[in-house]
Amino acid sequence: MSLRQKEPLNLIITGVGGQGNVLISRLIGQSMVDAGLQVTVGETYGASQRGGSVASHVRISKDTQYGPIIPEGHADVILGLEPVESLRILGLYGSPKTFVVTNIRPFYPLSVATGDAEYPRLETIKQSINELSAKAWYIDASEIALNLGAPLLTNMVMVGAIIGARLLPLTQDMFESQLEASFEKESLTLNLQSFRMGLTARY
Amino acid sequence: MSITSGDGPKTTQLLMGNEAIARGALEAGIGVAAAYPGNPSSEIIETLAKVAKERNLYVEWSVNEKVAMEVAAAASFSNVRALCAMKQNGLNVALDFLSNLNLTGAKSGLVLAVCDDPGAISSTNEQDSRHVAKALNLPLLEPATSQEAKDMAKWAFALSEEIANICILRSVTRISHARGKVVLGELPNVEKHAYFDISRKPYASVGETAPKLHQVLYRNLARIREIYESSPFNWYMGPENPELLIITCGSGWFYSIEAVRILSAVNSVGILKLGTTWPLPQKLIKRHMLQTRKILVVEEVDAFLEGNLKELAADMEPGRPWSFYGKASGHIPPFGELTPDIVINAVANALDLKYTSRDPEYHQKSQEIVKRYVPLRGPQFCAGCPHRTTFWAIKNALMLDGREGVLTGDIGCYGMGIGSTGYFQVKTMHAMGSGTGLASGMGKLNQFGFNQPVLDVCGDSTFFHAAIPALINGVHSQSNFILLLLDNSGTAMTGFQPHPGIEINAMGDLAPIIDVERLCHALDVKVMVTDAYDIKGTTEKLFEMLRDEGKPRVLISRRECALIRARREKPLYKVRVNHDQCIGEGCGCDRFCTRVFRCPGLIWDRESGKARIGEAICTGCGVCVDVCPQSAIVREAS
């Protein structure tokens, strides 16, 4: 049985408030509802506008609705917009069977910016994620988005990356029609561009 | 996507619980919706405000929850269905009106959606609102899914009319902020005609009528109970004679069913899921209780359902010796938020099963890695937040003053003044407006030798909500304190909803503003205004006010929330650190800007031993230029 048929398929989308976490969890969720699947999205964004950790739990099933929180050890896929947030969520909800697709650009917490704490080196993060997961993809999504002149679309690049890695029951066409229904004109063009760059991005 | 788009009945949308409640209210044909913003309830009214014109609604952000409840009840008294929404803290504010409204009753469908916040994810407490329904003898509904949130919200209006009283719908964060698939119903096209029938008996309860009306409430409860017995919001899933019966409601339903599946206990555990939790459908519950000897109650926060079930069990004939598991037995904590793991472990314990969520070795390794490498990401003021600079000025003025000034605080973004990014200045935080009331009281303690200056920080929205009466109290009692009104032009914490100080209302129409300065003049309160970004000016004004003792004084520290401004305009300045000037740890200040001032836009670069600007985060307020003792930070027009 491939991961995409797993029942339920448990996805966690994580990042920092302001990175557009909630938006992509809603778009991914709605695309799957449109494809006739049952979806629940549980969002934690109490502090999302204030640089806090944000996580959306997305639960996908053919016919059953699941609860808004994934039990410990039951995350199948983690989509991370920020590397230490990916590691944090993997540590809480992961297992040796979990797949991780993460952006590699750090968003420093205040404790690091103030010099009170240290941010781990990217190599350390990768090593830890590799040790705790089945397989991981590392994407320089912020760089790709920046090159497109749209740093805020890092989230769309990452959606492209996870669909490109074939970890979700979601195709390029399905997600693109969701984008077409949600954005207009220039904004749509940029979102589509970022998404497509993500589809083919590899570490 | 709007909740009215793809309108056809039978279409499906992925709706947040709060959007589903709003949709249910629309399907019930409401005319009026009112609330004061508060997470996790805010999206209910936000959603309705967006479609107000299209659906001919009147939607308002009221000044506080009590007024919101009154605005909604006024519609109900006048033949128009109305919805009121609030968070758990707000229910306390509305309670005075509500505990009379239950006696007088209502006319057209009137529903109160109250959203609790177990775990206090965005709150100061995790109060369980359900006790209010029981205390006031009002019907209570608890949705377990987005679909049910929509269906229950709609049905609640019919129930309200059936009993001519208000109906309470209790949600929690994990329902309100979770998205699930919802099959939409029809949006009615009803003519709404508001009319108050002056020939009917008054909506009033006083003296000897109060016990009579109280008696009516008990009669109502019996009727509601009957209606609840056959409600589709209650269901049972499991074997006929389960070894363990889980009785649950709200978010507990999904966790329970997942626990039973994960433990492969489908053949031995039954789940009775209740949507109607006060009054309880006794016959239905008794039927299921008599099939088992072990009962586990799964619910958020307090042992509300558990206590009521035990009450029922005590009166049951024939009685049976049940073992109850839940909050009292210690299987589920009576504090904090429920999680699937708490429920899985509770079920496993009740069945004497062993459960480990992960391989112990993996679990330990993962915990060690997180502890070692993953830095904390605590709450903080955003880059460019005007509250940070006001707290900086407060700290400086109090240090200059040197008399151990006490700063009381309140609920809002500025509550983070209790932490490092507000320099630990705030010493009290309770209810909306409580900082001002506490200041009014502390400012009267001089007769007992109290000689510390008293200050209070209060947000603009909070000021209108609950601080005005406390300020008036201080004026009349000649209390000695300074009210610092932190005016950032909106209800920032909950998503920038407008308030009476803003020239626009919930529906986007122009509205007259209440001018706080003129209000202070009318109260004969000395008032000064300062720009929050002007650290020197604010410090000086505050220092001057600290010397001018005897009566309440108001300092309005004004500057629009940096997040609101950034949505509209370019940054004020381009800010950079001149590395030739910056001497980092060698500075007498010991990296003052990052270590002490703590704006997240300033980053301490360990490698170069200098500060730098985090360009993706900096909002260009330029205030740090005035903070750096080395004049190493430079601002240029952007």
pLDDT tens digit sequence for B555-565: 999 999 998 88
pLDDT of B491 reads 76
B251 and A68 within 8 Å at the Cβ level: the answer is yes
What local confidence, expressed as pLDDT, does residue A46 receive?
57
Does some domain include residue A22?
yes
**Interchain contact A51–B (C-beta under 8 A):** yes
Return the pLDDT at B288.
97
The answer as to whether A169 is a domain residue is yes
Q: Which residues contact A57 (CB under 8 A, 6 or more apart)?
A: A10, A11, A12, A40, A41, A42, A43, A68, A69, A70
Question: Binning pLDDT at 50, 70 and 90, where does residue A183 land?
Answer: very high
B chain contacts of residue A181, beta-carbon cutoff 8 Å: 1
Looking at residues B421-441, what average pLDDT do you find? 96
pLDDT digits (tens, 9 = 90+) for A17-64: 889 999 999 999 999 999 999 999 998 765 545 678 999 999 999 999
Residues B117 and B126 sit within 8 Å (Cβ to Cβ)? yes
Check whether B34 has a pLDDT greater than 80.
yes
- The number of folded domains in chain A is 1
The letter for the amino acid at B284 is L
Q: A69, A81, A90: which to substitute to probe chain B, counting the most B Cβ within 10 Å?
A: A69
Give the residue among B251, B248, B295, B254 at the shortest CA–CA distance from B273. Answer: B248
| Cα A102 to Cα A12: distance, rounded to the nearest angstrom | 11
pLDDT for res A47 = 53
**For B502-541, how does the pLDDT look when each residue is reduced to its tens digit (9 = 90+)?**
999 999 999 999 999 999 999 999 999 999 999 999 999 9
Nearest to A26 among B14, B363, B375 (CB): B14
Give the confidence band of B249 by pLDDT, cuts at 50, 70, 90. very high
Question: Minimal Cα distance from B384: which residue of A?
Answer: A50
What pLDDT, on the 0 to 100 scale, is given for residue B388? 96
User: For chain B, what percentages of helix, strand and coil (3-state, to nearest 5) are there?
Assistant: 40, 20, 40
Between residues 61 and 120 of chain A, which touch chain B (CB distance below 8 Å)?
Answer: 65-74, 84-85, 87-88, 90-92, 94-96, 107-120
Closest CA relative to residue B521, chosen from B553, B549, B544: B553
Q: What percent of chain B has pLDDT over 90?
A: 86
Note the pLDDT of residue A50. Answer: 67
Among the listed residues B524, B411, B569, B567, the one whose alpha carbon sits nearest the alpha carbon of residue B65: B411
Tokens of B178: 């979770």
Judged by a CB distance cut-off of 8 A, whether residue A44 touches chain B is yes
Which of A43, A50, A69 is facing B339, going by the closest CB pair? A69
Assess whether pLDDT exceeds 70 at residue A1: no
Q: Considering chain B, what percentage of its residues have pLDDT values greater than 70?
A: 99
Provide, as residue numbers in chain A, all residues whose Cβ is less than 8 Å from the Cβ of B369. Answer: 87, 91, 128, 131-132
Question: What's the pLDDT band for B588 if we cut at 50, 70, 90?
Answer: low
**Digit-coded pLDDT (tens) for B179-216:** 999 999 999 988 899 999 999 999 999 999 999 999 99
Share of chain A above pLDDT 70, in %: 96
Residue B586: per-residue pLDDT: 78
The token pair that represents A181 in the structure block: 């229904």
User: Does residue A114 sit within a domain?
Assistant: no
Cα angle, residue A124 at apex, residues A123 and A127 outer, rounded to 5°: 85
Q: Per the domain annotation, does A155 fall within a domain?
A: yes
For residue A145, being part of any structural domain is answered with: yes
Instruction: Say which residue the tokens 């601002």 belong to.
Output: B635
Question: Contact B614/A40, CB-based, under 8 Å?
Answer: no
The answer, for B254 touching chain A at a CB cutoff of 8 Å, is yes
Nearest residue of B to residue A127 by CA position? B369
Domain encompassing residue A104? 3-108+120-200
pLDDT value for B616: 81
- Average pLDDT on B453-457 reads 98
Helix (H) or strand (E) run with residue B487 in it: strand B482-487
A50 touches chain B (CB under 8 A): yes
Residue B88 predicted with pLDDT over 70: yes
The per-residue pLDDT for B493 is 73
* pLDDT mean over B585-612: 87
Nearest to B178 among A16, A43, A182 (CB): A43
User: pTM above the 0.90 mark?
Assistant: yes
Domains and CATH numbers, chain B: 12-229 (3.40.50.970), 235-350 (3.40.50.920), 386-567 (3.40.50.970), 570-637 (3.30.70.20)
Residue B7 confidence (pLDDT) above 70: no
A125 at the B interface (CB within 8 A)?
A: yes
In this prediction, residue B417 carries a pLDDT of: 93
- B3, B55, B153, B169, B555 from B49: Cα distances, Å: 11, 10, 17, 20, 33
pLDDT at site B553: 98
Average pLDDT over residues B603-611: 90
Q: Does residue A149 belong to the interface with chain B, where contact is any CB pair within 8 Å?
A: no
Distance of CA B353 to the CA centre of its chain: 38
| Per-residue model confidence (pLDDT) at position B6 | 55
Instruction: Give the C-alpha separation, B471 to B437, whole Å.
Output: 7
Question: Which residue among A50, A71, A73 sits closest to B382, beta carbon to beta carbon?
Answer: A50
- Judge whether B181 is closer than 8 Å to chain A, CB to CB: yes
Q: What is the CATH number of the domain that holds A147?
A: 3.40.920.10
The rounded mean pLDDT for chain B is 94
- Residue type present at position B526: K
Q: Hey, what amino acid is at B217? A: L
Segment A71-75 shows an average pLDDT of 97
Please indicate whether, in this complex, the C-beta atoms of B14 and A113 are within 8 angstroms of each other: no
Per residue in A102-123, pLDDT (tens digit) is 999 999 999 898 888 999 999 9
How sure is the predictor about B471, in pLDDT bands with cuts at 50, 70 and 90? very high
A25, part of any domain: yes
pLDDT band at B1 (very low <50, low <70, confident <90, very high): low
Highest mean pLDDT: which of A104-118, B164-178, B601-615?
B164-178
- Flag whether A18 is in a domain: yes
Residue A43, pLDDT score:
86
Q: What is the pLDDT of residue B379?
A: 82
Determine the residue among A66, A110, A123, A154 to mutate to test chain B binding: the one whose Cβ has the most chain B Cβ atoms within 10 Å.
A110
Structure tokens at B453: 């200056």
Residue A179 lies in a domain: yes
CA B546, CA B246: separation in Å to the nearest integer? 60
Say if CB B31 and CB B56 are below 8 A apart: yes
A contact test, residue of B363, B374, B382 with most A CBs within 10 A: B374
Q: Do B358 and A71 count as a contact with CB atoms less than 8 A apart?
A: no
